[in-house]
Amino acid sequence: MQDFYIRTTTIEDMLKAIALFYTEPIELTPMLILESQNPQWVMLYIGTMYEPQEYIEGKEPDTPVALPGVHMNLRWIGPDCPDLSPYTLTPSPQYPKYLWA
Protein backbone atom coordinates (compact mmCIF):
# COMPACT_ATOMS: atom_id res chain seq x y z
CA MET A 1 0.00 0.00 0.00
CA GLN A 2 1.29 3.46 -0.92
CA ASP A 3 -0.07 6.89 -0.07
CA PHE A 4 0.60 9.78 -2.44
CA TYR A 5 0.12 13.47 -1.76
CA ILE A 6 -0.26 15.01 -5.21
CA ARG A 7 0.08 18.71 -6.00
CA THR A 8 0.01 20.31 -9.44
CA THR A 9 0.02 23.94 -10.49
CA THR A 10 -3.13 23.68 -12.65
CA ILE A 11 -6.27 21.59 -12.94
CA GLU A 12 -5.10 20.53 -16.42
CA ASP A 13 -1.93 19.05 -14.90
CA MET A 14 -4.02 17.34 -12.22
CA LEU A 15 -6.12 15.74 -14.96
CA LYS A 16 -2.89 14.47 -16.57
CA ALA A 17 -1.87 12.90 -13.26
CA ILE A 18 -5.28 11.28 -12.83
CA ALA A 19 -5.17 9.99 -16.43
CA LEU A 20 -2.23 7.79 -15.40
CA PHE A 21 -4.65 5.53 -13.51
CA TYR A 22 -8.23 6.62 -14.43
CA THR A 23 -9.30 6.87 -18.06
CA GLU A 24 -12.98 7.84 -17.83
CA PRO A 25 -14.09 11.46 -18.36
CA ILE A 26 -14.06 13.34 -15.09
CA GLU A 27 -15.25 16.66 -13.71
CA LEU A 28 -13.15 17.65 -10.72
CA THR A 29 -15.16 18.99 -7.81
CA PRO A 30 -13.71 19.55 -4.32
CA MET A 31 -13.83 16.49 -2.09
CA LEU A 32 -14.55 14.14 -5.00
CA ILE A 33 -13.81 10.51 -4.12
CA LEU A 34 -13.18 7.87 -6.79
CA GLU A 35 -12.19 4.26 -6.26
CA SER A 36 -11.32 1.15 -8.22
CA GLN A 37 -11.19 -2.52 -7.29
CA ASN A 38 -8.94 -3.66 -10.15
CA PRO A 39 -6.34 -2.28 -9.73
CA GLN A 40 -7.24 -1.32 -6.19
CA TRP A 41 -6.95 2.40 -5.34
CA VAL A 42 -8.94 5.27 -3.87
CA MET A 43 -8.53 8.94 -4.72
CA LEU A 44 -9.66 12.08 -2.89
CA TYR A 45 -9.56 15.23 -5.01
CA ILE A 46 -9.23 18.14 -2.59
CA GLY A 47 -8.71 21.08 -4.95
CA THR A 48 -7.56 24.25 -3.21
CA MET A 49 -6.24 23.94 0.33
CA TYR A 50 -5.87 26.77 2.80
CA GLU A 51 -3.46 27.71 5.58
CA PRO A 52 -4.82 26.59 8.96
CA GLN A 53 -6.30 29.36 11.08
CA GLU A 54 -6.48 29.75 14.80
CA TYR A 55 -10.01 30.10 16.15
CA ILE A 56 -10.42 32.85 18.72
CA GLU A 57 -13.85 33.14 20.28
CA GLY A 58 -15.53 36.45 19.52
CA LYS A 59 -13.08 37.36 16.74
CA GLU A 60 -13.85 37.24 13.04
CA PRO A 61 -11.54 34.78 11.28
CA ASP A 62 -8.94 36.20 8.93
CA THR A 63 -9.40 35.86 5.19
CA PRO A 64 -8.26 32.33 4.24
CA VAL A 65 -4.87 32.11 2.54
CA ALA A 66 -4.74 29.54 -0.26
CA LEU A 67 -1.80 27.16 -0.44
CA PRO A 68 -0.16 26.96 -3.86
CA GLY A 69 -1.43 24.45 -6.37
CA VAL A 70 -4.24 21.94 -6.73
CA HIS A 71 -4.26 18.97 -4.33
CA MET A 72 -5.24 15.30 -4.36
CA ASN A 73 -4.54 12.30 -2.14
CA LEU A 74 -4.23 8.82 -3.61
CA ARG A 75 -3.99 5.49 -1.82
CA TRP A 76 -2.72 2.77 -4.13
CA ILE A 77 -3.36 -0.69 -2.68
CA GLY A 78 -2.78 -3.00 -5.62
CA PRO A 79 0.33 -3.77 -7.64
CA ASP A 80 1.54 -1.94 -10.76
CA CYS A 81 1.35 1.59 -9.43
CA PRO A 82 1.93 4.19 -12.17
CA ASP A 83 4.88 6.58 -11.92
CA LEU A 84 3.41 9.59 -10.12
CA SER A 85 6.77 11.10 -9.15
CA PRO A 86 6.37 14.22 -11.34
CA TYR A 87 3.23 15.12 -9.36
CA THR A 88 4.06 13.87 -5.86
CA LEU A 89 4.98 16.19 -3.00
CA THR A 90 8.49 15.34 -1.88
CA PRO A 91 8.96 14.99 0.96
CA SER A 92 5.45 13.99 1.96
CA PRO A 93 3.76 16.43 4.34
CA GLN A 94 4.78 15.82 7.95
CA TYR A 95 1.25 16.64 9.14
CA PRO A 96 -1.16 16.03 6.23
CA LYS A 97 -4.45 17.91 6.48
CA TYR A 98 -6.41 14.96 5.04
CA LEU A 99 -5.74 11.38 6.17
CA TRP A 100 -7.17 8.02 5.24
CA ALA A 101 -9.17 6.33 8.00
Q: Please compute the mean of the pLDDT values over residues 17-39 and round it to a whole number.
A: 93
More confident residue, 79 or 36: 36
| Of 5-9, 73-77, 81-85, 96-100, minimum mean pLDDT range | 96-100
What Å distances lie between residue 87 and 43, 69, 71, CA to CA? Answer: 14, 11, 10
pTM of the model: 0.82
When pLDDT is cut at 50, 70 and 90, the band that residue 77 belongs to is: very high
